[in-house]
Amino acid sequence: MPYTFKLEALRQFREFEEERVQREFSQAQRVCDAAASKLAEQIALRDKTETDFAAHQESGTASQCAMYRGFLQRLAEEIELLRQRLRVAERDCEKKRQALLAAVKNRKTLDRLKEKDEQAYRHKQDQDEGKFIDEMAINRFQLKRG
């Protein structure tokens, strides 16, 4: 008779949950990476604009300087907003990572339980087989004796 784990349905459910949480974590990581990338782009744009502004400041008109200052102010506000979004995304990503670790732990617990149960089953099978072989040997001996 083949081995069957009594809690196999629960183990499969936990494995399914682990996969679901893994997908959620991957999505949260992508959101976090996208937010970090967008922030880096805006910071690079700000740095380039500041360099351009410094180059045009002495030779440019007052209206150009005002335009640069307004644009830099808007960039600073946008960068701060992106930093806040990145912090939120990082917190969400960390929560998803913790949930993933818990899901993996739950599945591995059942995997270890299944392994121990299977070892106990195999050991019991070996013992039963040994008893059967011993009984056959005793019966053969009794038949030869007489």
Task: Report pLDDT for 58.
Answer: 74
Question: Residue ranges of the domains in the chain?
Answer: 9-113
Is 42 within 8 Å of 78 (Cβ atoms)?
yes
Closest CA to 31 of 23, 99, 77: 23
Q: DSSP for 88-138?
A: HHHHHHHHHHHHHHHHHHHHHHHHHHHHHHHHHHHHHHHHHHHHHHHHHHH
Whether the predicted pLDDT of 87 surpasses 80: yes
Confidence of residue 146 (pLDDT cuts 50, 70, 90): low
* pLDDT tens-digit readout, 45-86: 999 999 888 887 777 777 888 888 899 999 999 999 999 999
- As a whole number, the mean pLDDT across the chain is 92
pLDDT at 94: 97
Q: What is the mean pLDDT of residues 94-98?
A: 97
pLDDT of residue 67: 87
- Mean pLDDT value across residues 95-121: 96
Q: Which residues, in sequence order, are CB contacts of 69 under 8 Å at separation 6+?
A: 53
Contacts of 114 by beta carbon, 8 Å cutoff, 6+ apart:
5, 7, 8, 11
Q: Strand, coil or helix: what is 48?
A: helix
Q: What percent of the chain has pLDDT over 90?
A: 77
